[in-house]
Amino acid sequence: MTYVLLILGVLLSFAFVYFMRPTNNGDLKLLLAFSGAFLLSLTIFELFPSVYAISDSKTIGVYIMLGMLLQVFLEFFSKGAEHGHMHLDVEKANFPWLLFVSLSIHSLLEGFPIKTHDHLIYGILIHKIPIAMVLGIFLLNSKIKIIHAVLFMVLFSLMTPFGNYMAVHFDFATKYYAPITALVIGVFLHISTIILFESSEGHKFNLRKLVVIILGIIIAYSL
């Protein structure tokens, strides 16, 4: 069921973009703000305590910082797709391999903590929906062939389930649970905070954004 939810979340979001061609960026930004708050809250409420309880705090801190740096590095190639905006050339017709590989690494890592934190699947799922929509909008507006766009989204949808599969079936995932999870925490911290900071224009007060952020925190806490 975990795999099905994660795969369908991406593919249905792409299908929605394909058939509906949404143009309201305001609603997408609110969804991004909610996903950022929800993911950040789950990271703090669930992942932080689990790694600090079983390992040296400074070592965990180092891996968290490495996770943040890893995400910064990946974004040189993904151009910010992980947090809902992209700066790629829509005129190119070639398959965007760098974008695919960077997003795949990010998505693969996301799948590891789900093994021991069931509630995290909801945070990742809600995070993936607006990201898949942004990716879909880019791919459909570019000169990439539709079959390549579909292939991109299908493969992308499989990465987080594959990460979860590795966590369940490979011994190294259990042996190195703390450092891997700490890396993921760093990735999540970077992405979620960027989403929250960038989802408002001109840093103006936005009541709707504030409400969805608070809602995301409350729902994450209640799980």
Query: pTM for the whole thing?
Result: 0.89
Which of 7-11, 95-99, 152-156, 171-175 is predicted with the least confidence, judged by mean pLDDT? 95-99
Domain for residue 19, yes or no?
A: no
Total residue length of the chain = 223
Domain for residue 17, yes or no?
A: no
Domain for residue 18, yes or no?
A: no
Q: What is the mean pLDDT of residues 82-95?
A: 66
CA 211 from centroid of its chain's CA atoms: 21
Can you give the residue range of the structural domain that contains 54?
2-12+25-222
Which residue in 27, 214, 2 sits closest to 134, CA to CA? 27
Q: What is the pLDDT of residues 58-71, one digit of tens each?
A: 999 999 999 999 99
Domain for residue 20, yes or no?
A: no
C-alpha–C-alpha distance, residues 84 and 43, integer Å: 19
Domain for residue 77, yes or no?
A: yes
Count of Cβ atoms closer than 10 Å to residue 44 Cβ: 17
**What does the pLDDT read at residue 88?**
60
**What does the pLDDT read at residue 137?**
87
Looking at residue 45, the DSSP 8-state letter turns out to be I
C-alpha–C-alpha distance, residues 55 and 74, integer Å: 27
Largest CA distance in the chain: 50
How many helices (H) and strands (E) in the chain? 10, 0
Domain for residue 56, yes or no?
A: yes
Structure tokens at 5: 């939810």
Domain for residue 144, yes or no?
A: yes
Q: How many domains does the chain have?
A: 1
**What does the pLDDT read at residue 206?**
79
Looking at residue 87, the DSSP 8-state letter turns out to be -
Whether 199 has a pLDDT exceeding 60, the answer reads no
70 neighbors 183 (Cβ within 8 angstroms): yes
Using pLDDT thresholds of 50, 70 and 90, give the confidence band for residue 89. Answer: low
43 neighbors 189 (Cβ within 8 angstroms): yes
